[in-house]
Structure 1
């Protein structure tokens, strides 16, 4: 693993896992339509986190731009998840905020 990206890769993988768990749990909620925004952003966030990990592990020349976008999408997902009281949403929001912060630190 590229050690200069190690912390960021770990945060992205944790966020990806939290988003996938939240996505799956939201689909099982009684009022799925109310969770549509959360579900959509969970997918977007999980996908960009996975792509960011790939970019970092192959030392892409676009790591800075990809991780900047990852932080923006993590922020959006974290904000949406924080609106919901479900435990899976709250854990996802926390993971998204952490990932966004670490992505920004890495590209600073």
Structure 2
């Protein structure tokens, strides 16, 4: 990740939060299980946590907070956990695939910028 700007990272964080919110909502609308009978509870929980953490990470980055680098590490962990869960369902849920991709991108950027 070369020459990542703070503005680009803020956009990535907010895009990830949006994908997580969309995924959680789609999972909730399916009920307790998806079309393959998988329990979506863990996916919903991780998406909600990740969306909140990405939003805060974006806000801290936008304001140039002294805590942003430390928080980027936490955000990357949440994104990686969310991506791993969503990837379990990505082959039959487009919203999970989109969420996993957004989370992987955000995690990579967070780790790069925190370094």
TM-score (ref. length: structure 2): 0.86
Q: Work out whether 1:63 is the aligned partner of 2:68.
A: yes
Correspondent of 2:86 among 81, 89, 103: 81
Shift of 1:54: 1.3
TM-score (ref. length: structure 1): 0.92
Pick the structure with more helix per residue: 1
Where structure 2 has 5 or more consecutive residues not aligned to the other structure, the ranges are none
Deviation per residue, 1:55-101 (Å, 9 max, x gap): 11221111111111000000000000000030000110000000000
Task: Flag as ranges the 4+ runs of structure 1 deviating above 4 A.
Answer: none
Q: Secondary structure of the residue that 2:40 maps to in structure 1?
A: helix
Give aligned pairs, total.
106
Correspondent of 1:93 among 100, 103, 113: 100
Q: CA RMSD in A?
A: 1.6
